Amino acid sequence: MLSTAIVTASYAPDFERCRLLCETLDRNVTGFEHHYILVEGRDVALFRQLERPGRTVVDERDLLPRWLHVVSDPLSLFRRRVWLSLRTKPLRGWHVQQLRRIAIAAHVPQEVLVYVDSDVAFLKPFDCAAFQRAGKVRLLRRADATGNWLPGNHAVWSQNAAEMLGIAAPAVAPYDYISTLISWRGSSVKEMCARMEAVQGKGWVEVLGAVRRFSECMLYGRFVDEVLEGEGHFHGSEEFCRVHWLGKALSDAEFHDFVAAMSPQQVAIGMQSFIGTDLGRIRRLMEA
């Protein structure tokens, strides 16, 4: 079996959600060697509370170029953060979380990287061996790249991925690779970065930072399918995590219905933190 790590990119407002993830992961998940939590430098001390043998908090300053500087954004009355440099456009937290997820592959020994967001909780036992088959790593791929749940974005992300990777055609792929609780192959991530640098003639962080409108999942999926031609991977379309992506916070009854509607292969739920569902309610409803 290939060595496996779980990777979570997070930030201070999601700390308690990340704590719940860690609790449910420790209780329900097997088949991995280590859990890495990737955070901004100023959040490291907070997240150190979650460390234990087999779990490490990683400072983004150990992953990303030192010319990328983070400051409080005056345009948000200093409530939000912005990453600035002379080599990229201004980047927001969601951009930099994606950069961390890519960068970690060059810093850890594990070959299978299982990505799970910090607003996920595992409700059922799960073995990360599900992401491997005969030495190959599972690539989530669905034939619904139009992305009805995020209209207009998938096509842009897919087209930008093709341009960054030097894929001539098709401009937009017919597949969707975006979800949480997915796996990548570490060596393939490093090859993807090298490909972008060879095509664009500059570092991969600069490439992505100049584009800004990108999806790391779309980028990786197109690289594996169209550059590597699937080498080292197998496809799966089933999602292991049921996610409430958009809309309003769920009522107690709606939450129970949401959990009851999990398909047999789904072992975790994701409540997007920006929706505003109270974490205490989620804990109470999970226990119930």
* pLDDT tens figures, 153-168: 888 999 999 999 999 9
Please give the CATH topology (third level) of the domain spanning 4-287.
Answer: Spore Coat Polysaccharide Biosynthesis Protein SpsA; Chain A (3.90.550)
Percent of the chain scored above 70 by pLDDT?
92
Q: How many whole angstroms separate alpha carbon 266 and alpha carbon 262?
A: 6
Residue 273, pLDDT score: 62
Q: Mean pLDDT over all residues of the chain?
A: 92
pLDDT at 146 over 60: no
| Confidence at residue 191, expressed as pLDDT on a 0 to 100 scale | 98
The pair of three-digit structure tokens given for residue 227, joined into one six-digit string: 């550059």
Beta-bridge mates of residue 36: 7, 56
pLDDT band at 126 (very low <50, low <70, confident <90, very high): very high
Q: What is the pTM of this model?
A: 0.94
* Per-residue pLDDT at 176 exceeds 50: yes
In what helix (H) or strand (E) does residue 216 lie, and over which residues does it extend?
helix 216-222
Give the Å distances, CA to CA, from 111 to 32, 43, 52, 108, 155: 11, 27, 21, 8, 30
Q: How confident is the model at residue 274 (pLDDT cuts 50, 70, 90)?
A: low
Please, what is the end-to-end C-alpha distance for the chain in angstroms? Answer: 37
Question: How is residue 232 written in tokens?
Answer: 């080292």
